[in-house]
Amino acid sequence: MKNDTNDIRVTGRLTGNPEVKTVGNDKRIAEFSIAINKSRKTASGEYEQGEPVYIDVVCWGYLADRADALEKGSQVLIEGSLQLDRWEKEGQKMSKHKIKAWKLFEIRIPGYDNKVEDSPAPADDDGMPF
């Protein structure tokens, strides 16, 4: 189909420290995984944690340098495209989607422990301007 796009934007927390290495002609690459957590409000008004989604991310060049400053538990916003890796292992065809990042932002909230594994339940939407 004409005009299809391959853009993705996600927020999540790093499941481990990024693995950063240099390849080829001094090209830096960082690889890490994020957990995307979703919570929802139940009929009783309490928040319930859904099943997390895990996805691998790859960053090249200056984004790899930015990723190198992150650590397990860092909350990030990533923009990029989905990429499908395919390989063969012991005669079986394998594949996995990952995000090739174009943009990488660490989300930091002043006065808040940004490395907490379990995020607090989101505030009530009442009074929000959006």
- Scanning the chain, the segments in alpha helix (DSSP H) are 62-68
CATH code, residues 8-106: 2.40.50.140
Whole-number pLDDT of residue 115: 58
HSE-CB at 106 with a 13 A cutoff on CA atoms is 17
DSSP strand pairing (53-60 vs 27-36)? antiparallel
Q: Indicate yes or no: pTM above 0.85.
A: no
Query: 3-57 pLDDT, tens per residue?
Result: 788 999 999 999 999 999 999 888 999 999 999 988 888 888 888 888 899 999 9
Q: Would you list the domain boundaries of the chain?
A: 8-106
Mean pLDDT within 69-82: 95
